Amino acid sequence: MSLFLVITLIVVALLIATGLYRVWAGPTVFDRIVAVALVSVNGVVVLVLLGFAFEQPTLFLDIALGFALLAFLLPIALGRYFEARDDGTSRDGASSPRARARPQGVVPHGLIAERSRRAAGGSVARSTRAVPPPVPEHGADAFPDRASDRERLEDDR
């Protein structure tokens, strides 16, 4: 068991603990999933290094390969799960009681949505400021920093 590998192991384990802060704090759900991806990649590194530190690399590399396969599926599956559809709901939002109580027909807002609406020839307000603050739809919980973005927009004026 070489000292260098043990020190490397300890550092990577500390990195896992540090990455978990972003899982805990990350403002949107996608921040959390990105942080989980980093943590799981670090977990694969820890497993491989453990195998070399214990001088049984074959055993631990099998485990690491299985773990890497699972860690590959996780962000893709969670991303598809939390992805908003055209009507503003997502698979998680549509199944929650709060989403069922929410009014239907949410209008997408923001610069890109407005540009595409203009391209379609719809009647659009002149700027995002003239539009009444959009109804918090699915993104209300997923993107809490949208409100602060809107404030920045007004401050820049």
Q: Are 27 and 144 in contact (CB under 8 A)?
A: yes
Locus of tokens 């055209």: 86
Q: Is 143 in the site for other proteins (CB under 8 A)?
A: yes
Q: Is 45 in the site for other proteins (CB under 8 A)?
A: yes
Q: Is 121 in the site for other proteins (CB under 8 A)?
A: no
Among 6, 87, 96, 115, binds other proteins (CB under 8 A): 115
Locus of tokens 């074959």: 58
**Listed residue (16, 145, 142) closest to 90, CA to CA:** 142
Q: Is 13 in the site for other proteins (CB under 8 A)?
A: no
Residues 55-84 that bind other proteins (CB under 8 A): 55, 57-58, 61-62, 64-65, 68-69, 71-76, 78-80, 82-84
Quote the tokens at residue 51.
């195998």
Q: Is 129 in the site for other proteins (CB under 8 A)?
A: yes
Q: Is 133 in the site for other proteins (CB under 8 A)?
A: no
**Between vectors from CA 30 to CA 25 and to CA 31, what angle results, nearest 5°?**
35
